[in-house]
Structure 1
Amino acid sequence: MPGIKITAVKTTPVNIPLEKPMWWTGGHYPGTSKIVIEVETDQGLVGLGEAPSVDVLASVKAMGERLIGSDPLDIAGCESLCVPPWQIVQNTDDSSVVKAFGAIEIALWDLRGKVTGEPLYRLLGGAVRKDIPFTEYFAFRHGGETSPDEVADYCLRMREEHGATMFEGKLILGDPKLEIDTVKALREALGPDDMIRLDSNMQWSLPSAIRIFREIEPYDIRNYEDPVATFEEMAELRRHSSIRLSTHVPDIRRAVSLGAPDYIVTNFAVLGGISRTVRFVGACEAMGIGFWCYSGDAGIATAGYLHMSAAMPWITEPSQSLFRWQVGDVIEGGPFRQKDNLIAAPEGPGLGVTLDRDALAHWHRHLVDNGPLDHFHDPAMPGSFRRLPLN
């Protein structure tokens, strides 16, 4: 489509609540807030993007004004209008500019697919798989599961109702014995074959993590995400356990240098968009570091992950998933729901998803009325962060 130009970049912040808040290191996690991005063109095509948080709203709006009149198919040219030289970005404390443009860049790829009539996975080289694996999530939840047996019973129900055999969750109440007991209950209930992964959001001190890992290693834990606060502590923890480790901190150099963690778990927008994620995953492959995406995205970013996982041979582990707990989405037919651990990559052009205008308006109104969902505070102490004991 010759001469296509960007005419507007629309932003709509929305809330995506969970059916029940879960506990994590910072307090209650009631859901998440996103920015839905629509890149409009003079040819009538609209590309969809998604920012993982609303803190970059002003930056996305400013970038959108800068991009008016630009060719959306020239992604490198669009980036040059919005993002400073990469060596500068990498050496400042504010990476929000990367996240802001990364969210827009997803929409540019959606447009590229709509212009060519091809699904994104074909633009990325074709599919090595069409069905993408995801874990079911478990946690201690307000109004839900609060004991080892209740968590185990919930996972059994997910297996019976949805064919789930892959599970990941947070056991974050600051009690090492409670976590150990819950892991034992899970393995006893699920049997020897189902996958169990854990995510601690850096809640443990190194001595506590060493103790916990010693106790849970016999129960075949596939991976443990951010059990401690630093790569250096993970490297020391590696000396005491063979359980594989992952992190949300996308620092390949330090992971290779220290020998831990084994996997990077992040979001496309955080890395600067789909183009940069392709290069990032390629670097992970060259260095032997695994990759998958974290949970909590709405349907637009999730569709991007489905296409990326379809096209990238190196992404083999299941992604995290909060789909079962999300009470709404902004796409038609959303949220995605896995069956027998799998979700098929969309086959439509670009991301292959369509905005649900009524849902978009509803969840935007939810944010306007309630404010962005705050998952950093203790509901028993408004205005204060939760303080876990240093076990």
Structure 2
Amino acid sequence: MKITSIHTVPVRTPMREPLVWPGGTRLSASGLLVEVHTDEGIVGIGEAPGPTLPTIRTIIDAELTQFLLGQDPLRTEWLVHRMEEFTRNWSRIGAYAISGIEIALLDLKGKALGVPVAELLGGFCRREVPVVGYLFIDEPEANARKAAAFVDAGYSELKLKVGRDFGQDHDTIAAIRDEVGSGVKIRIDANMIWSVPAAIKWIRGLEKFDLQYVEQPVPDFDVAGMATVRRAVGVPIAADEGCTDIRSALELIKADACDVFVVYPSEAGGLTRGREIAALAAAAGKWCAIGSWAELGAATMANAHLVAGSSNFPFASDTHYPLQELDVLTESLEMSNGFISVTDAPGLGVDVDRDAVERLANIQVRESVFYDDIQGEAPRVGQIV
């Protein structure tokens, strides 16, 4: 079997409501759909979410396709290695493109061998993958109602964006706790917004709410500062923006800077590299959770296969999927009782709706994940507040 062509299509869906976080307001979710075609008619489906789809698409179409055409698609590790070597000098952005291709290659291999992707990643450790109820910055009462709706739907873990105002964060978490009780886990994510002293002050002020963990309280480049925060507070600390690939995971381990790795297969360069980060974490006594770039259905299911095939993802996975209006799949993913089911269907077990792809490729909606309030003062990371 040989690869005959690579097709890419950027798609976008509106969010059900504006999602406010420390760095801006998100109005849409977008991803680059990647298809790997072969001379035997088997097509692998992948998705590359990321910060700049035009650049990621150009990398695939103009740079990486040369390493794929005419090659055996089952040689996944070899093909990924060739692409990683080619993008070594610009590996951070190259990883997003490689991830979309690698997911498509694994989907293709699973279809060719008649096994699900989770089997290719080590075999099933679980069939049901838990996901978080995702909450953004809003009035305390509004977030308490949303939290209750997630819990009523079967979710047992919640994630809340924080960092703009301590009083609002405090009151929001208090309102959520009053609404859902002590049995529901709550994690918070500051998205690098605090300085080290600010992080210590704010986290200590919120410890009484029994937080599951705090994500990336300080800037991603300040590994030593993250370690300082971790030693100073009584809440587990997670590395999010600071945990992008295997090398950054090693630096976090060396500094003993966190308790949890938030793993993004899109940033790591694919599901295989994501699994390797999880293995490093396990060896160092750290645990993992999946992070979200607001993936559409294909990448959301790919992430679920990674969790299903690993023993080191004890926390619910991040996902924006329930907050998105549309998708490109023939059947939307079901998150019953706060879980995604991973079946024995070959590959990812999803199919693409061509009409939906065409619609979502032509949707016009603002896409500005970072610093959306371009008329006002842009947020800064590492603030002393």
TM-score by length of 2: 0.91
2:192 touches 2:216 (CA, 8 Å); kept in 1? yes
- The aligned counterpart of 1:153 is 145
Q: Shift of residue 171 of structure 1?
A: 2.6
The verdict on how the C-alpha distance between 1:66 and 1:293 changes in structure 2, with shifts beyond 3 A counting, is same
For the pair 1:171 / 2:162, whether they are aligned, the reply is yes
**Contact 1:5–1:69, Cα closer than 8 Å, also in 2:** yes
Partner of 1:95, secondary structure, is helix
> In 1, Cα distance between the equivalents of 2:384 and 2:372?
17
1:17 aligns with 2:11: no
- Residue pair 2:14, 2:365 contacting (<8 A) in 1 also: no
Query: Match of 1:343, SS?
Result: strand
Contact 1:184 1:216 in 2 (8 A): no
The Cα of 1:134 is off from its aligned counterpart by: 0.7
1:294 & 1:25 partners in 2: Cα distance?
16
CA contact (8 A) 2:22 2:191 kept: yes
> Which amino acid in structure 1 is aligned with residue 75 of structure 2?
D
* Equivalent-residue separation in structure 2 for 1:80 and 1:242 (angstroms): 41
RMSD: 2.0
Q: How does 1:268-307 map to 2 (within 5 A)?
A: 268-295=265-292, 296-307=294-305
Structure 2 residue 197 is matched with structure 1 residue 197: no
**TM-superposition CA deviations, 1:222-242 (whole Å, max 9, x none):** 011011113222211122212
- Deviates most, 192-201 or 55-64: 55-64
Q: After TM superposition, give the deviation of residue 66 of structure 1 in Å.
A: 3.6
Alignment-derived partner of residue 82 in structure 1: 83
Distance 1:275 1:94 in 2: 16
Question: How many equivalent pairs are there?
Answer: 372
Rounded Cα–Cα distance in structure 2 between residues aligned with 1:44 and 1:323: 30
TM-score by length of 1: 0.89
**1:266 alignment partner in structure 2:** 263
Q: Offset at 1:80?
A: 4.4
Q: State the alpha-carbon separation in 2 of the partners of residues 131 and 19 from structure 1.
A: 26
SS state at 1:78 partner: helix
2:126 maps to 1:129: yes
Pick from 189, 205, 208: which aligns with 1:215? 205
For 1:65 and 1:170, locate their aligned partners in 2 and report how far apart those are by CA, in whole Å. 41
Matches within 5 A, 1:1-391: 4-53=1-50, 54=53, 55-62=55-62, 63-84=64-85, 89=88, 92=89, 94-140=91-137, 146-160=138-152, 162-172=153-163, 174-229=164-219, 230-248=222-240, 249-250=242-243, 251-295=248-292, 296-334=294-332, 336-366=333-363, 369-370=364-365, 373-379=367-373, 381=375, 385-386=378-379, 390-391=384-385
Q: Distance in 1 between matches of 2:142 and 2:92?
A: 40
What is the alpha-carbon distance in structure 1 between the residues aligned to residue 196 and residue 251 of structure 2? 18
Offset of residue 203 of structure 1:
1.3
CA distance in structure 1 between the aligned counterparts of 2:276 and 2:321, rounded to whole angstroms: 27
Please list the CA deviations of residues 86-125 of structure 1 after superposition, one character each: whole Å capped at 9, or x if unmatched: xx82xx4542222212210111111111101111122233
Aligned residue for 1:198, secondary structure, equals: strand
The answer as to whether partners of 1:21 and 1:28 remain within 8 angstroms in 2 is yes
Does structure 2 retain, via aligned residues, the 8 Å contact 1:132–1:343?
Answer: yes
* Gapped regions of structure 2 (runs ≥ 5): none
- SS of 2:217's equivalent in the other structure is coil
Q: Is the 8 A contact 1:292 1:317 kept in 2?
A: yes
SS at match of 2:335: coil
| Greater Cα offset, 174-183 or 274-283 | 274-283
Change (3 A) 1:94 1:65: closer
Deviations 1:65-95 (A, max 9, x none): 441111100113323442317xx82xx4542
SS at match of 2:115: coil
Contact residue 15 and residue 363 of structure 1 kept, 8 A: yes
Sequence identity, in percent? Answer: 29
- Assess if the C-alpha contact under 8 Å between 1:8 and 1:65 holds in 2: no
> What amino acid is the match of 2:107?
D
